[in-house]
Amino acid sequence: MKTAKPNRPNRANRDESKLQSFLQWLHANGVELRGCDIKHCDHGRGHGLFYSDNRSDGVLLVVPLDLAITPMRVLQDPCLGPKCRAMFDEGDVDDRFLMILFLTLERVRKNSSWKPYIDMLPTTFGNPLWFSDDELLELKGTTLFRASVLQKKKLLSLYEDKVKNLAVELLDGELEREMQFEDFLWANSIFWTRALNIPFPHSYVFPQMPKEEETSHSTLFGDSSALRSINSSGAQSFVKGEEGVKCCEIDNGSEPTSSTQGETIWVEGLVPGIDFCNHDLKAAATWEVDGTGLTTGIPASMYLLSAAQSSFQLEKEILISYGNKGNEELLYLYGFVIDNNPDDYLMVHYPVEAIQTVPFADSKLQFIEAQKAEMRCLLPRSLLDSGFFPSSPHHEEENKLNNGRVCNYSWSGQRKMPSYLNKLVFPEEFLTALRTIAMKEEDLHVVSSLLHELVGSKEERQRQPSCGEVRAAVWEASGDSGALQLLVDLLQMKMMELEEGSGTEALDSELLEKAQVAHTIEGCRRQAEGTAAEKLMSRNRRSSIIYRRGQKQLTRLFLKEAEHALHVCLNEES
């Protein structure tokens, strides 16, 4: 009995029907596609935006902000609003959870008004939360492995504790089907892969609201919220960590600006239409907010603006930049990587639990806090250009991270400024922590004596020693050799963990090369049959190998820097 082949034309017809429904939905909600079309992309990237017209003003797409999925929309929803506001008051959830909850419920809601949009969204993702067990093992030894395992456990707990019963409570009788954890996981991935940090006009977020009511409303979002109030002269950005993964505030779309004057409220949200732009390091477009309508003719709208200075190729895909992100962050959030990513970075940290086992741990922790030292650091690839072995022999830029070092200060005058100071690529805040951890008992006594000499005894002390003074005292007592030896040990341990399950950097390169050759041969063989080449290596596995190979390469290069710095330091201290 022959197995029936899938009816590809029927699937194509269904996809086209969904696209047409979505375009009608956009039009009904005031969206204007002025110089672009939405079409299916190749290479499994879903749908994207493509040039359809060479407009003189460069405005390609305009979306009313009323269509954006934001915390305000969720709180104003007649069904979800009261319950979500109560959860906010109890401090149980943040505004990101609100939007993820909204997407989850709309996915299973019967006759949802958002169905045309949701039907167009991807159902599978390349981030590790969706990896099979075998695919996840490809990340073993990387920072991303542990972060992904913990994040999935956290999301499952959140679903069981808060989300699972909300579907029945809020959508009683309106459920199209029973909700599953995969629906919540899907909504989480949709948010992180498509949300933007939107500069809303202040008057749009707080329309004609009395000052006291506005203050009360703004506290709803809390200190940890993604809602940020700043002046329009500059954007606030900050970094949040998740088990070592550098997760920056969502900034898809290059550098957004607001065309309005006065205060701006930055709110995370999804903007249907604009969120179909895919990523490229060289952006072909940016997005901006038009508060007054002077640019687009539509007040309180977001528009996509072509970055092309001259004519461009019609039907070429319009790409925006998601920002300068390393592969660790790209894979964790978006599910793709860039081979030889120039923005790659390495996360190095001294385990918090390990410091409890070192001699005089309590005293050292106090000194670490007094020096505002960091137990972990990010090492961007670009730092290597300022080190002992720059990729370009003509590169002479000094390492700016070390401009704030105080190690050249010495009470006794016996410890001189190291010759390698401007070649040391490792952040001083991290070296300060390692220097403190490496101190011997006699070093601690020297530090205490130096600080006592500086500020006096407890009885006569008029002030606390400054951060810089404590750093100078620690360096005077211990120098750099102990810190650099610890750093070498940490990097060697990291390399061992990376290679333990997957082998060397060279082996990763060999796997990728073999897979590429196999794809080419298989593709040629199947071309005559009129079918696409089989995926001899899954996209997830390939992404994992590219990411971990980059981590091994960076570890090797930074280890080389640390070992050379230690060698020079020991020669100068002897």
Cα distances from 463 to residues 209, 454, 456, 457, in angstroms, run 47, 10, 9, 10
Amino acid, single-letter form, for residue 271? V
Query: What confidence tens digit (pLDDT) does each residue in 128-176 have?
Result: 999 999 999 999 999 999 999 999 999 999 999 989 888 888 887 788 8
Name the pLDDT band for 532 (thresholds 50, 70, 90): very low
Characterize 395-433 residue by residue with b for buried, 16 or more Cβ atoms within 10 angstroms of its Cβ, and e for exposed. Answer: eeeebebbeebbbeeeeeeebeebebebbbbbbbbbbbb
Question: Which has the higher per-residue pLDDT, 219 or 382?
Answer: 382
* Stretch among 244-248, 404-408, 566-570 having the lowest mean pLDDT: 244-248
- Cα dihedral 78, 81, 82, 83 in deg (nearest 10): 120
Note whether 350 and 376 are within 8 A (CB). Answer: yes
C-alpha span between 273 and 15 (Å, rounded): 17
Name the pLDDT band for 573 (thresholds 50, 70, 90): confident
Q: How far is CA 302 from the centre of its chain?
A: 23
Name the pLDDT band for 487 (thresholds 50, 70, 90): very high
Residue 522 has pLDDT above 80, yes or no: no
| pLDDT of 44 | 63
| pLDDT of 229 | 31
What percentage of the chain has pLDDT greater than the value 90? 53
Question: Which has the higher per-residue pLDDT, 392 or 305?
Answer: 305
Per the DSSP assignment, residues forming a β-bridge with 278 are 319
Amino acid, single-letter form, for residue 439? M
* Stretch among 267-276, 304-313, 325-334, 353-362 having the lowest mean pLDDT: 304-313
Of 483, 480, 434, the residue nearest 572 (C-alpha)? 480
Name the pLDDT band for 261 (thresholds 50, 70, 90): very low
* Stretch among 212-216, 283-287, 453-457 having the lowest mean pLDDT: 212-216
| pLDDT of 11 | 72
C-alpha span between 156 and 178 (Å, rounded): 16
| pLDDT of 88 | 79
| pLDDT of 259 | 42
Residue 254 CB coordination number (10 Å) = 17
Cα distances from 513 to residues 42, 336, 466, 519, 545, in angstroms, run 22, 19, 54, 10, 11
**289-298, 349-358, 528-537, 554-563 — which one is most confidently predicted on average?**
554-563
Greatest Cα pair distance in the chain? 96
Note whether 349 and 376 are within 8 A (CB). Answer: yes
Residue 66 CB coordination number (10 Å) = 12
Of 317, 341, 316, the residue nearest 331 (C-alpha)? 341
**How much is the average pLDDT of 79-103?**
87
- Residue reference for tokens 């019609």: 314
Q: Is 73 helix (H, G, I), strand (E, B) or coil?
A: helix
| pLDDT of 234 | 30
Cα distances from 373 to residues 376, 470, 490, 499, in angstroms, run 9, 11, 17, 30
Residues 6+ apart with CB under 8 A from 467: 370, 371, 372
* Stretch among 294-298, 399-403, 535-539 having the lowest mean pLDDT: 399-403
What percentage of the chain has pLDDT greater than the value 70? 79
CA angle, 336 then 375 then 408, to 5°? 120
C-alpha span between 99 and 68 (Å, rounded): 11
- Residue reference for tokens 């002030």: 463
| pLDDT of 7 | 56
| pLDDT of 312 | 63
**111-115, 183-187, 407-411 — which one is most confidently predicted on average?**
183-187
C-alpha span between 468 and 454 (Å, rounded): 12
Name the pLDDT band for 226 (thresholds 50, 70, 90): very low
Q: Is 199 helix (H, G, I), strand (E, B) or coil?
A: strand
Q: Is 338 helix (H, G, I), strand (E, B) or coil?
A: coil
Name the pLDDT band for 208 (thresholds 50, 70, 90): low
| pLDDT of 160 | 94
Q: How far is CA 102 from the centre of its chain?
A: 22
Amino acid, single-letter form, for residue 96? R
* Stretch among 7-11, 55-59, 139-143, 430-434 having the lowest mean pLDDT: 7-11
Q: What is the DSSP annotation of 340-361?
A: T-TT-EEEEE--HHHHTTSTTH
Run of H or E including 529: none
- Cα dihedral 526, 531, 536, 541 in deg (nearest 10): 150
| pLDDT of 463 | 75
- Residue reference for tokens 């915390």: 71
Note whether 433 and 478 are within 8 A (CB). Answer: no
| pLDDT of 323 | 81
Positive or negative CA dihedral for 357, 358, 359, 361?
negative
Query: What confidence tens digit (pLDDT) does each residue in 37-89 have?
Result: 999 887 667 889 999 887 778 899 999 999 999 998 998 888 888 888 888 78
| pLDDT of 418 | 87
| pLDDT of 462 | 67
**209-213, 371-375, 458-462 — which one is most confidently predicted on average?**
371-375
Residue 248 has pLDDT above 60, yes or no: no
